[in-house]
């Protein structure tokens, strides 16, 4: 059992090592664009800053590639080059259907497993040269694509709808419980579909004149990347050079409210990292709710604080 878990960890690390530059590139460009853009009533206003809008778009493109690259190289770590195509395809579909980071992990592992199984099929010797170039990528991509489109897409969409309805009911009840739930959801998949449900629910509450849920979310969003980034600084000997470099990017993203900065660490050690960051974000959300923190715009960070907008204490 331990041997299998170790292999899975190695597969995940293979994907993470290739995904880290995309996280750093996208996160830093988006952070710079948001920090320097003039603030409007609903967040950063790029209408008068075309260069910053371009930085934002480039960073968004890098982030859009994150899930396919993660899935592709997880599959590559499992089954070598023939698994790249189905891994990338599965990751792209995961991004398309809204499965996010967790969908990318599932797609990568699925693609690698499918390719490993196909490789075990005995074929005539004259057919072997075309297997890794043509047959395996096509067959594996069809299988992975079918599973991602037909078996994961609709359930994820329905789950998100149910979670949104549930949060609406919780909003009228215990505020502390609501804050804890929002914090846990924000950290659970770090920018994925569960995170987005909590974020968009809180953003919708702004229109209703309830700024507390967004204040709780703003606090929770920053905790995973800031906490993990600080951990790489405080305990440098416990981390590899690559992880320490990812920690710098994570700190920068945490300062501007980009939870995805924690993804490289969570992907490498999901069973250890995800519960810890969920607990940290839940604590931050509850403290924000108890302190009456409200956020009037669906974003946070130094760019808003310096202008006296966004996060404030409700009176």
Percent of the chain scoring above 90 in pLDDT: 32
Where are the domains positioned within the chain?
2-313
Cβ(247)–Cβ(236) under 8 Å?
no
Q: Quick one: average pLDDT of 219-230?
A: 93
d(C-alpha 35, C-alpha 40), whole Å: 13
* Rg of the chain (C-alpha set): 21
Give the pLDDT band (50/70/90) at residue 230. very high
Judge whether residue 203 has pLDDT over 80.
no
Q: Extract the tokens encoding 194.
A: 């569960």
Question: Which residue matches tokens 């994961």?
Answer: 152
Per-residue model confidence as pLDDT tens digits over 140-174: 999 999 999 988 776 766 776 676 677 667 665 67
Judge whether residue 188 has pLDDT over 50.
yes
pLDDT score at 260 = 82
The region, left, alpha or beta by phi > 0 then psi within -120 to 50, assigned to residue 257 is: left
Using a cut of 0.85, tell me whether the model's pTM lies above it: no
Closest CA to 108 of 275, 263, 267: 267
d(C-alpha 166, C-alpha 98), whole Å: 19
For residue 293, the SS3 value is strand
pLDDT score at 306 = 37
Per-residue model confidence as pLDDT tens digits over 296-308: 666 555 444 433 3
Q: Which of 25-34, 127-136, 138-147 has the lowest mean pLDDT?
A: 25-34
Cβ(246)–Cβ(28) under 8 Å?
no
Residue 302's Cβ-count burial label (10 Å; 0-12, 13-18, 19+) is middle
Q: Which of 16-25, 125-134, 234-243 has the lowest mean pLDDT?
A: 16-25
pLDDT score at 303 = 42
Per-residue model confidence as pLDDT tens digits over 63-102: 889 889 999 999 999 999 999 999 999 999 988 887 777 7
d(C-alpha 30, C-alpha 23), whole Å: 11
């Amino acid at each position: 059992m331990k041997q299998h878990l170790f292999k899975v960890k190695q597969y995940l690390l293979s994907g993470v090592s290739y995904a880290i530059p995309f996280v750093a590139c996208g996160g830093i460009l988006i952070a710079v664009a948001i920090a320097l853009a003039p603030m409007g009533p609903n967040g950063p206003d790029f209408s008068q800053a075309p260069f910053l809008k371009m930085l934002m778009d480039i960073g968004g493109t890098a982030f859009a590639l994150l899930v396919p690259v993660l899935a592709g190289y997880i599959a590559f770590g499992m089954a070598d080059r023939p698994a790249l195509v189905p891994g990338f395809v599965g990751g792209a579909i995961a991004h398309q259907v809204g499965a996010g980071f967790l969908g990318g992990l599932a797609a990568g592992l699925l693609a690698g497993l499918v390719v490993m199984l196909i490789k075990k099929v005995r074929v005539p010797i004259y057919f072997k040269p075309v297997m890794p170039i043509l047959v395996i990528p096509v067959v594996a991509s069809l299988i992975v694509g079918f599973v991602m489109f037909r078996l994961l897409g609709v359930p994820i969409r329905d789950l998100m709808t149910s979670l949104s309805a549930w949060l609406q009911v919780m909003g009228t009840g215990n505020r502390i419980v609501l804050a804890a739930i929002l914090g846990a959801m924000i950290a659970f998949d770090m920018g994925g579909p569960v995170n987005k449900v909590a974020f968009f629910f809180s953003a919708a509450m702004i229109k209703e004149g309830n700024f507390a849920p967004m204040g709780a979310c703003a606090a929770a969003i920053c905790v995973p990347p800031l906490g993990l980034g600080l951990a790489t600084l405080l305990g440098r000997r416990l981390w590899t050079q690559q992880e320490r470099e990812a920690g710098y990017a994570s700190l920068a993203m945490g300062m501007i409210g980009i939870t995805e900065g924690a993804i490289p660490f969570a992907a490498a050690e999901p069973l250890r990292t995800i519960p810890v960051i969920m607990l940290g974000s839940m604590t931050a959300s509850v403290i924000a709710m108890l302190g009456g923190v409200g956020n009037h715009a669906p974003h946070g960070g130094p760019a808003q604080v310096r202008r006296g907008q966004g996060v404030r204490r409700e009176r």
